[in-house]
Chains A and B, each alone.
Chain A
Amino acid sequence: MRLWGDAMWGIVRRDAILFASYRTQFASQILGPLFTITLFYYISHLLTARTIHSPGGYFGFVIIGLVIVQILTLSLGIMPLTVRQELVSGTIERFLVSAHGPVNGIIGTMLFPLINAMLTGILMLGLATIIFGLPLAATAALAIPVSLLGMLAFMPFAFILVALVMAFKQISNATQFIIAGVGIIGGLYFPIAVLPSWIRWASEVQPFTPATDLLRHLLVDAPHIRREWICSSSWASPRCCCPPASCCCARRSVTVNAPARLPSTEQSRSRRSPVTSSSTNDLLTARVRMPQHVVCRSFVAETVVLNLETGQYHGLNPTAGRMLQALHAAPSVGAVAPELAGEYGVEREQIERDLLALANGLLERGLIETVDDDAG
């Protein structure tokens, strides 16, 4: 758990340094929302709708929606862009080789955008209060934990968008579509009461509407139109179902669509070998070698194996690279186990399991082939 925390902190720190290195980014991130707040402040002077029962009138109502839209744009919008950038620059496979798995890698890259979005939201409320006299309620501080919970409800959408990026590469329109859709049915800019009845059901079944209501209640003391338990249950249900489902979706999408890369031997230990016991014995006694269409080059911290037929590169960590080198020269897979067991100071059975997992993975990808003794 501590390792996981360190890894996540490392990613957040990296993203924060990158963000801070663009010196105008922070200013532009503040100026945009400030202009939007100003725009809606003056629009609110024109509106006297009876359906809005919020302290501060329409401005007090819409400011919460604007903050949520800003948070959605910075969190939901940035994530697919980040993953797409990794895809374009060819570094997406870092997620796959992460010791914490691809989904945790994606979660790590989501953390800084979420923190950034949260801070920007707080700053927007501060500006609206100081400059435009938004009447903040005494319960405003409670909105912070509620917003954090709300973000959990948003995360599945980010995961699904990541999965779509992996599958279709370019989905910037989908992000805008979701944010605009939430703006309409979530009651961010206007009360959902003004929507026609045939679409109002959509406002009730998704988690954004109750989240917005609750935040308005806490921040500006707007009348709460739902009971707390209804609100909580409508939040809890998507949070129970959506994150696991979206995680599966993202994991499936990342592993299917990303460039092939072999698991490290450390990862292989925790996985069940796909070979059966009889085929395990066969493989242990088999002689393997790299076919003509496979090229292998060793680097200081990695071995790169290239399949010339598929054009795919595969990265092996130093241990797997050493194993491949030993396998290529050995009379059988099992024959190299004693030497490697001595070299790494581990039990022979452990090395055999790792060798089998590696050989099996290499065979599946056509990077080695078994050789008949007669032929070889």
Chain B
Amino acid sequence: MTTPAEALPGTGRDELRYTAFGLELRIDPRIAVPGLVEDDGSSAISNPGQSEAIAKPREGEDHTPPVQPPSHVRLDGGEEVRRRWGALTVAPVRTREVRFGETLIRSVDFAEPAGYLLWAREYGRVLISSDGLELLCEPDPANEDWASIVSSQALPLAATLRGFEVVHASGVVLDGQAVLITGPAGAGKTSLAAALVRIGGALLSDDAVALEPSADTLVAHAGSLALQLRAAEDERLSPRERTALGEPTGSIEGKRRYTSRRTPSPAPFGCLFLLERSMREPVIEELVAVDPFELLASTFNLSVHTPERLRRQLDVVAAIASHGQVYRLRVQPDVDATELAAVVHEHLA
């Protein structure tokens, strides 16, 4: 039987190299995925469970990690997605759907052997093979920004299929350790991450960070490096502060988009901040008894329900609770992000 990866011509040709969510990626140059920075060969690429950058090899062991194949992101030139999905002999199972009011805006369906079909209103479809090695894009031609669905949804799903656990968090590498920030929409995750970048941190992601269970820790891998800042907040920044955020790469939905110039190397998980609104001055409270269900709710991908993934999801949550430091960060809605970043940095120091 032909596997999905073999079915398409052009493997290994005319593709650009990227690294994101812990995956080595080969992407069709016609797909301008926002937030990905082309590899210059300096970024470390790891394999799930065997992070070279972090895990120390033991004496007498074979230190050579098995070579993991890259994931290919391709454009559906013909009607390949339609053909594969139409050739199914079993009914697809809807594993996830997101609605805005009554309107369906995103869904994920699964059926073997085709894999996971991600559909997003006004963005198009991406068929992701069950092993996460191939992502076949069928864009909505009316939307110039359609490829953002690749970095925001499809790659996190592929990373989950390839053994990573993606958390819905902004992330910054600060003093060599990954600092993750979760919280409800509008809580200020991006603002705080941007402020941490301005004081010297390296952006891991604005929205989703891939975590890899390693021997004695968790390793955080960069996701999309596009940082989308509210226009009002962007206007408060000086030109120098804007430069620190990266290259300006346009505006979308009233937000200014910046893209970091370089993908940071994987970093050991340091701590997690759970952002929460409050009326008082910023308060950081270390959580001794972490609510595991709150952490589970912070994981990104809810479409993959295989036993391996469910077990890994729980293991990663247990590792966050046991190895890392988890803090509740209570902030006022209009708190100055730069001041908040200073408070966070001082606390971590």
Contacts and interface: CB of A to CB of B under 8 A. Distances in A.
B57 interface: no
Contacts of B314: 295, 297, 304, 306, 313
B334 A23 contact: yes
Contacts of A17: 278-279
B321 A90 contact: no
B288 A300 contact: yes
A363 to B, nearest CB: 21
A369 interface: no
Interface string B278-292: 110000000011111
B101 interface: yes
B292 A21 contact: no
Given A17-B278, A23-B333, A302 B291 contact: yes
Interface residues of B, number: 28
B277 A18 contact: yes
Contact of B293 (A20, A295, A315): A315
A299 B322 CA distance: 8
Interface in A265-305: 293, 295, 297, 299-302, 304
Contacts of B289: 299-302
Interface residues of A, number: 27
B318 A173 contact: no
A262 to B, nearest CB: 13
Most central of B102, B291, B305 by chain A CB within 10 Å: B291
Contact of B297 (A22, A90, A301, A315): A90
Most central of A20, A21, A90, A301 by chain B CB within 10 Å: A21
A308 B308 CA distance: 8
A237 interface: no
B296 interface: yes
A297 B278 contact: no
Interface string B319-344: 00100000000001110000000000
A134 to B, nearest CB: 34
B310 interface: yes
B332 A21 contact: yes
A77 to B, nearest CB: 14
A240 B307 CA distance: 49
Contact of B102 (A18, A170, A301): A170
B235 interface: no
Nearest to A299: B292
A300 B321 contact: yes
Interface string A176-197: 0000000000000000000000
Contact of A90 (B101, B296, B332): B296
A139 interface: no
Nearest to B302: A90
Contacts of A315: 292-293
Given A90-B296, A170-B102, A21 B333 contact: yes
A91 B295 CA distance: 11
Interface of A: 17-18, 20-23, 89-91, 93, 170, 172-173, 293, 295, 297, 299-302, 304, 306, 308-309, 311, 313, 315
Q: 7 smallest A-B Cβ distances: which pairs? A: A301-B289, A308-B307, A300-B289, A90-B297, A21-B277, A297-B318, A311-B305
27 contacts: A21-B277, A21-B278, A21-B333, A22-B277, A23-B333, A89-B184, A90-B293, A90-B297, A91-B294, A170-B99, A295-B311, A297-B314, A297-B315, A299-B289, A299-B292, A299-B318, A299-B321, A300-B288, A301-B289, A301-B291, A302-B291, A304-B293, A304-B317, A306-B314, A308-B311, A311-B310, A315-B293
Given A170-B99, A302-B292, 18 more contacts: A17-B279, A20-B279, A21-B277, A22-B277, A89-B297, A172-B101, A295-B310, A297-B315, A299-B292, A299-B318, A301-B289, A302-B291, A304-B292, A304-B293, A306-B310, A308-B311, A309-B307, A313-B314
